[in-house]
Structure 1
Amino acid sequence: MVELRLKTSADFENKSSYSFNVIATDNGIGNLSAQKAVTLNITNTNDAPLSKFIIDIVVNENSTSDYQF
Protein backbone atom coordinates (compact mmCIF):
# COMPACT_ATOMS: atom_id res chain seq x y z
CA MET A 1 0.00 0.00 0.00
CA VAL A 2 1.20 3.49 -0.88
CA GLU A 3 0.18 6.73 0.79
CA LEU A 4 0.54 10.08 -0.93
CA ARG A 5 0.61 13.31 1.07
CA LEU A 6 0.88 16.88 -0.13
CA LYS A 7 3.07 19.30 1.81
CA THR A 8 0.43 22.03 1.47
CA SER A 9 -3.29 22.03 0.79
CA ALA A 10 -4.29 21.51 -2.82
CA ASP A 11 -5.85 24.72 -4.16
CA PHE A 12 -7.42 24.63 -7.62
CA GLU A 13 -6.85 28.36 -8.13
CA ASN A 14 -3.09 27.94 -7.62
CA LYS A 15 -2.52 24.62 -9.37
CA SER A 16 -5.19 22.47 -11.03
CA SER A 17 -3.10 19.29 -11.36
CA TYR A 18 0.07 17.55 -10.18
CA SER A 19 2.09 15.12 -12.30
CA PHE A 20 4.64 12.69 -10.90
CA ASN A 21 6.10 9.22 -11.39
CA VAL A 22 5.43 6.30 -9.07
CA ILE A 23 8.21 3.72 -8.95
CA ALA A 24 7.70 0.35 -7.29
CA THR A 25 10.75 -1.83 -6.57
CA ASP A 26 10.87 -5.24 -4.95
CA ASN A 27 13.73 -6.60 -2.87
CA GLY A 28 13.72 -9.99 -4.55
CA ILE A 29 16.29 -11.51 -6.86
CA GLY A 30 17.01 -9.11 -9.68
CA ASN A 31 15.41 -6.12 -7.94
CA LEU A 32 12.51 -5.81 -10.36
CA SER A 33 10.81 -2.44 -10.67
CA ALA A 34 7.99 -0.74 -12.54
CA GLN A 35 7.26 2.91 -13.16
CA LYS A 36 3.98 4.67 -13.91
CA ALA A 37 3.26 8.33 -14.68
CA VAL A 38 0.38 9.68 -12.59
CA THR A 39 -1.58 12.91 -12.92
CA LEU A 40 -3.61 14.05 -9.93
CA ASN A 41 -6.37 16.47 -11.01
CA ILE A 42 -7.71 18.86 -8.40
CA THR A 43 -11.47 19.45 -8.45
CA ASN A 44 -12.62 23.03 -8.01
CA THR A 45 -15.14 23.34 -5.19
CA ASN A 46 -17.05 26.32 -3.94
CA ASP A 47 -15.00 28.22 -1.42
CA ALA A 48 -16.72 29.72 1.57
CA PRO A 49 -18.51 32.85 0.37
CA LEU A 50 -16.85 36.12 1.10
CA SER A 51 -18.90 38.85 2.64
CA LYS A 52 -18.91 41.29 -0.26
CA PHE A 53 -21.14 44.26 0.04
CA ILE A 54 -20.90 47.90 -0.80
CA ILE A 55 -22.45 50.56 1.36
CA ASP A 56 -22.69 54.17 0.30
CA ILE A 57 -23.04 56.60 3.15
CA VAL A 58 -23.25 60.31 2.61
CA VAL A 59 -22.36 62.50 5.56
CA ASN A 60 -22.45 66.25 5.26
CA GLU A 61 -19.36 68.18 6.23
CA ASN A 62 -19.14 69.03 9.94
CA SER A 63 -21.87 66.54 10.85
CA THR A 64 -21.82 63.05 12.35
CA SER A 65 -23.19 59.67 11.41
CA ASP A 66 -24.19 56.94 13.83
CA TYR A 67 -23.90 54.11 11.27
CA GLN A 68 -21.94 51.12 12.60
CA PHE A 69 -20.07 48.61 10.45
Structure 2
Amino acid sequence: MTSKAEQTASKTTDAEPKFYLHELREHSQKLFGVKPEVFDGAVLGMKDIQATKTEVKKRIDAFLKKEVKQ
Protein backbone atom coordinates (compact mmCIF):
# COMPACT_ATOMS: atom_id res chain seq x y z
CA MET A 1 0.00 0.00 0.00
CA THR A 2 1.37 3.44 -0.90
CA SER A 3 0.95 6.65 1.03
CA LYS A 4 -0.62 9.80 -0.38
CA ALA A 5 2.81 11.46 -0.53
CA GLU A 6 4.20 8.59 -2.59
CA GLN A 7 1.19 8.69 -4.92
CA THR A 8 1.55 12.46 -5.36
CA ALA A 9 5.27 12.11 -6.03
CA SER A 10 4.58 9.38 -8.53
CA LYS A 11 1.99 11.47 -10.36
CA THR A 12 4.32 14.47 -10.44
CA THR A 13 7.15 12.39 -11.87
CA ASP A 14 4.86 10.78 -14.44
CA ALA A 15 3.57 14.14 -15.66
CA GLU A 16 7.02 15.74 -15.78
CA PRO A 17 8.73 15.68 -19.19
CA LYS A 18 11.91 13.66 -19.67
CA PHE A 19 15.04 15.08 -21.24
CA TYR A 20 18.14 13.45 -22.68
CA LEU A 21 20.97 13.50 -20.15
CA HIS A 22 23.33 15.25 -22.57
CA GLU A 23 20.82 18.12 -22.84
CA LEU A 24 20.55 18.45 -19.08
CA ARG A 25 24.35 18.28 -18.80
CA GLU A 26 24.74 21.19 -21.22
CA HIS A 27 22.60 23.34 -18.92
CA SER A 28 23.65 21.83 -15.58
CA GLN A 29 24.98 25.14 -14.21
CA LYS A 30 21.73 26.98 -14.92
CA LEU A 31 19.33 24.16 -14.00
CA PHE A 32 21.04 22.63 -10.98
CA GLY A 33 23.80 25.06 -10.00
CA VAL A 34 26.57 22.51 -10.59
CA LYS A 35 29.37 22.12 -13.11
CA PRO A 36 29.09 19.46 -15.81
CA GLU A 37 31.72 17.38 -13.98
CA VAL A 38 29.49 17.15 -10.90
CA PHE A 39 26.52 16.29 -13.12
CA ASP A 40 28.57 13.48 -14.68
CA GLY A 41 29.40 12.02 -11.27
CA ALA A 42 25.80 12.19 -10.12
CA VAL A 43 24.36 10.40 -13.15
CA LEU A 44 27.17 7.87 -13.45
CA GLY A 45 25.67 4.44 -13.85
CA MET A 46 22.22 5.60 -14.95
CA LYS A 47 20.93 3.13 -17.48
CA ASP A 48 18.27 5.40 -18.94
CA ILE A 49 19.35 8.03 -21.44
CA GLN A 50 16.41 10.20 -20.46
CA ALA A 51 15.36 11.53 -17.07
CA THR A 52 13.23 14.22 -15.49
CA LYS A 53 14.78 17.28 -13.90
CA THR A 54 13.46 16.10 -10.53
CA GLU A 55 15.15 12.70 -10.85
CA VAL A 56 18.47 14.28 -11.77
CA LYS A 57 18.20 16.88 -8.98
CA LYS A 58 17.68 14.09 -6.41
CA ARG A 59 20.73 12.23 -7.74
CA ILE A 60 22.85 15.41 -7.63
CA ASP A 61 21.78 16.16 -4.05
CA ALA A 62 22.61 12.60 -2.97
CA PHE A 63 25.93 12.73 -4.81
CA LEU A 64 26.92 15.99 -3.10
CA LYS A 65 26.07 14.56 0.33
CA LYS A 66 28.29 11.50 -0.10
CA GLU A 67 31.31 11.30 2.17
CA VAL A 68 34.62 11.67 0.38
CA LYS A 69 36.89 8.69 0.98
CA GLN A 70 40.57 9.38 1.47
Q: Which structure is richer in relative contact order (CA contacts within 8 A, separation 6 or more)? A: 2
TM-score higher than 0.5: no
Category of TM-score, reference length = shorter chain: under 0.3
Q: So what's the TM-score if we normalise by structure 1?
A: 0.18
Q: So what's the TM-score if we normalise by structure 2?
A: 0.18
- The structure richer in strand per residue is 1
Larger Rg: 1
